[in-house]
């Protein structure tokens, strides 16, 4: 039968919130997105996403047109909704590994006075375990509805670049919900997704908060594990790609997130493992996740080792060497440059005296704003033109598809470092390139 249409508010319309608001409208709900950032709201309301995510802008426009989706800076618009989703960011604190909860606390403080009737407030942000319990007490004290405004937690697992697909077809839903009413309301909200057979795991609040921290820590660990193996390969002449392929056929290990290379970045994995470590220490169980410091260290080393490999190609001296850096975003299909390994490497090369020219299909504006000291090119061809070393640091399809012969005609020297194991080494070597990648043997 037709799904029940609920009235929802989505507080915080950044990456997560904007995606969630659009997708919930797609499920048939009436959704108002609320944010204190007037510019963001104006942009969304006019059908323009303030960031890049494949497919989302089209759906935003379609949902605005349906009349079920609207955006405002006015928190009173949340009043009367059945569910309020908290989707604000929880970045790393400026000078500490801890998660910064100021946006979350501020959002709840602005929302609570408008909660006059029975409703559910649902946190989606990644938070230190124990946060939801504290917010519950605050909510009951500050909402006019008192304990009739209930708190639940529903962590989000979407990946940038796959946000819509991951929201509408998730691997699982996690409901940290203490009461039957909360569980029923969340189930009604996600009914079309649950009807597809997506598993729902119902937990207490603390467990739901932990699921997210544990999942991202596991993913980060898997990446650093294969990158640690790459370091061993580098010391022995073994090939980490062959190693990863052989490991991946073991179903208990699996091949996903086992891609060696420059390592992970972005607004989530790096800060989440640090915040988790910090929280575990506060709880007196820091030892339990002591390995995450190693995971972080292995990941950071990838950046330096990539610079070292490029320096080696420049015969030990980068001064004045023209390096074309392909990629700026922390991963392909995104314009997000938060803790982007590519830009970190570009910055280090620049500091070592190289003439760095960066090109990225979507992240140029963000990169320019944060790294004005680097040079930017308008196209892939312009970036590599005259280069003495090409460094592929974010594996966009555009770079994978590039023809080694065509590129070879543009550069000054055919030297390439493949920081993501994304290119066909044989094809590059056949086209006269000196192709190198960390963790695979050099064949000159």
Q: Which is nearer to ligand UGA, 159 or 181 (CB)?
A: 159
Cβ of residue 431: shortest distance to ligand UGA, in angstroms?
Answer: 26
Per DSSP, helices labelled H in 124-236 are 131-142, 163-168, 180-189, 191-195, 205-236
Full strand arrangement of the beta sheet holding 434-436: 375-376, 355-359, 322-326, 389-392, 415-418, 434-436
Q: Taking contact as CB under 6 A, which single stretch among the options 94-102, 261-269, 372-380, 407-415 is the one that binds ligand UGA? A: 261-269
Q: Which is nearer to ligand UGA, 266 or 404 (CB)?
A: 266
Any contact of residue 264 with ligand UGA (CB under 6 A)? yes
* The only residue of 124, 331, 362, 436 in contact with ligand UGA, by rule CB under 6 A: 331
Any contact of residue 225 with ligand UGA (CB under 6 A)? no
Which run of H or of E encompasses 42? helix 38-45
Q: What does R_g of the chain's alpha carbons equal in angstroms?
A: 24
Alpha-carbon gap, residue 85 to 27, rounded angstroms = 15
Q: Which is nearer to ligand UGA, 157 or 291 (CB)?
A: 157
Maximum Cα interatomic distance, the chain, rounded to a whole number of Å: 73
The residues in 190-219 that bind ligand UGA, with binding defined as CB under 6 A, are: 216, 219
Any contact of residue 23 with ligand UGA (CB under 6 A)? no
Q: Taking contact as CB under 6 A, which single stretch among the options 33-41, 66-74, 256-264, 358-366 is the one that binds ligand UGA? A: 256-264
Any contact of residue 258 with ligand UGA (CB under 6 A)? yes
Any contact of residue 53 with ligand UGA (CB under 6 A)? no
Cβ of residue 236: shortest distance to ligand UGA, in angstroms?
Answer: 22
Token reading at 116: 């006059």
Instruction: Kindly list the distances between the CA atom of residue 231 and the CA atoms of 226, 237, 340, 439, 440, in Å, as whole numbers in the listed order.
Output: 9, 10, 21, 6, 10
268 an active-site residue?
A: yes
Any contact of residue 346 with ligand UGA (CB under 6 A)? no
Cβ of residue 234: shortest distance to ligand UGA, in angstroms?
Answer: 16
Assign residue 437 a region: left if phi > 0, alpha if psi is -120 to 50, beta otherwise? beta
Count other Cβ atoms within 10 Å, centred on residue 184: 12
* The only residue of 51, 75, 85, 330 in contact with ligand UGA, by rule CB under 6 A: 330
Range 238-241 contact pairs with CB under 8 angstroms and sequence separation of 24 or more: 238/441, 239/439, 239/440, 239/441, 240/421, 240/438, 240/439, 240/440, 241/421, 241/439, 241/440
Cα–chain-centroid distance for residue 349? Answer: 25
Alpha-carbon gap, residue 167 to 159, rounded angstroms = 9
For residue 287, the 8-state DSSP code is G
Q: Which residues pair with 149 in a beta bridge?
A: 119
Any contact of residue 292 with ligand UGA (CB under 6 A)? no
Q: How many residues bind ligand UGA (CB under 6 A)?
A: 21
Q: Taking contact as CB under 6 A, which single stretch among the options 102-110, 114-122, 203-211, 265-273 is the one that binds ligand UGA? A: 265-273
Any contact of residue 266 with ligand UGA (CB under 6 A)? yes
* The only residue of 159, 181, 183, 281 in contact with ligand UGA, by rule CB under 6 A: 159
Alpha-carbon gap, residue 210 to 276, rounded angstroms = 9
What binding mask, one character per residue, do residues 113-152 give for ligand UGA by CB under 6 A, x or -?
-------------x--------------------------
* The only residue of 265, 327, 419, 439 in contact with ligand UGA, by rule CB under 6 A: 265
Cβ of residue 131: shortest distance to ligand UGA, in angstroms?
Answer: 15
Q: Which is nearer to ligand UGA, 72 or 123 (CB)?
A: 123
CA angle at 277 for the pair 276 and 282, rounded to the nearest 5°: 95
* The only residue of 160, 209, 333, 360 in contact with ligand UGA, by rule CB under 6 A: 160
Alpha-carbon gap, residue 363 to 369, rounded angstroms = 10
For residue 153, the 8-state DSSP code is E
Q: Which is nearer to ligand UGA, 126 or 154 (CB)?
A: 126
Q: Taking contact as CB under 6 A, which single stretch among the options 255-263, 275-283, 307-315, 372-380 is the one that binds ligand UGA? A: 255-263
Tell me which of 23, 87, 189, 268 is the catalytic residue. Answer: 268
Separation of first and last alpha carbons in the chain: 65
**Active centre residues (catalytic):** 268
| Residues at the interface with ligand UGA (CB under 6 A) | 126, 156-160, 216, 219, 223, 257-259, 261, 263-266, 268-269, 330-331
């Amino acid at each position: 039968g037709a799904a029940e249409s609920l009235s929802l508010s989505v507080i915080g319309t950044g990456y997560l919130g904007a995606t969630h608001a659009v997708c919930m409208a797609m499920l048939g709900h009436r959704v108002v997105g609320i944010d204190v950032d007037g510019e963001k709201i104006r942009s969304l309301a006019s059908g323009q996403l303030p960031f890049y995510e494949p497919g989302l802008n089209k759906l935003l426009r379609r949902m605005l047109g349906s009349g079920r989706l609207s955006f405002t800076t006015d928190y009173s618009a949340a009043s009367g909704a059945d569910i309020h989703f908290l989707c604000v960011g929880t970045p790393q604190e400026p000078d500490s590994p801890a998660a910064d909860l100021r946006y979350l606390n501020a959002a709840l403080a602005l929302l609570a006075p408008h909660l006059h009737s029975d409703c559910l407030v649902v946190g989606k942000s990644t938070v230190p375990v124990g946060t939801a319990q504290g917010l519950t007490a605050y909510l009951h004290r500050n909402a006019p509805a008192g304990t009739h405004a209930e708190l639940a937690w529903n962590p989000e697992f979407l990946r940038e670049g796959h946000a819509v697909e991951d929201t509408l077809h998730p691997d699982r839903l996690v409901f940290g919900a203490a009461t039957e009413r909360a569980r029923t309301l969340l189930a009604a909200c996600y009914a079309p997704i649950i009807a597809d057979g997506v598993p729902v795991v119902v937990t207490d609040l603390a467990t739901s908060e932990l699921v997210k921290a544990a999942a991202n820590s596991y993913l980060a660990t898997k990446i650093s594990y294969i990158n640690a193996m790459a370091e061993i390969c580098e010391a022995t002449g073994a090939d980490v790609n062959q190693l990863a392929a052989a490991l991946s056929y073991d179903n208990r290990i699996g091949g996903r997130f086992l891609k060696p290379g420059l390592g992970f970045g972005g607004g989530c994995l790096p800060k989440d493992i640090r915040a988790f470590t910090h929280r575990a220490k506060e709880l007196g169980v820091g030892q339990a996740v002591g390995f995450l410091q190693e995971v972080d260290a292995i990941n950071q080393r990838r950046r330096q080792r990539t610079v070292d490999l490029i320096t080696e190609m420049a015969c030990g001296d980068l001064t004045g060497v023209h390096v074309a850096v392909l990629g700026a975003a922390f991963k392909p299909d995104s314009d997000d440059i938060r803790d982007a390994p590519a830009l970190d490497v570009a910055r280090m090369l620049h500091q070592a005296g190289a003439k760095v020219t960066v090109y990225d299909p979507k992240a140029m504006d963000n990169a320019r704003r944060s790294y004005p000291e680097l040079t930017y090119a308008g196209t892939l061809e312009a970036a590599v033109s005259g280069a003495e070393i090409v460094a592929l640091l974010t594996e966009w399809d555009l770079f994978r598809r590039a023809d080694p012969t065509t590129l070879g005609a543009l550069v000054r020297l055919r030297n390439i470092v493949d920081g993501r194991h994304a290119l066909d080494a044989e094809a590059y070597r056949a086209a006269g390139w000196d192709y190198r990648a960390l963790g695979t043997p050099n064949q000159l």
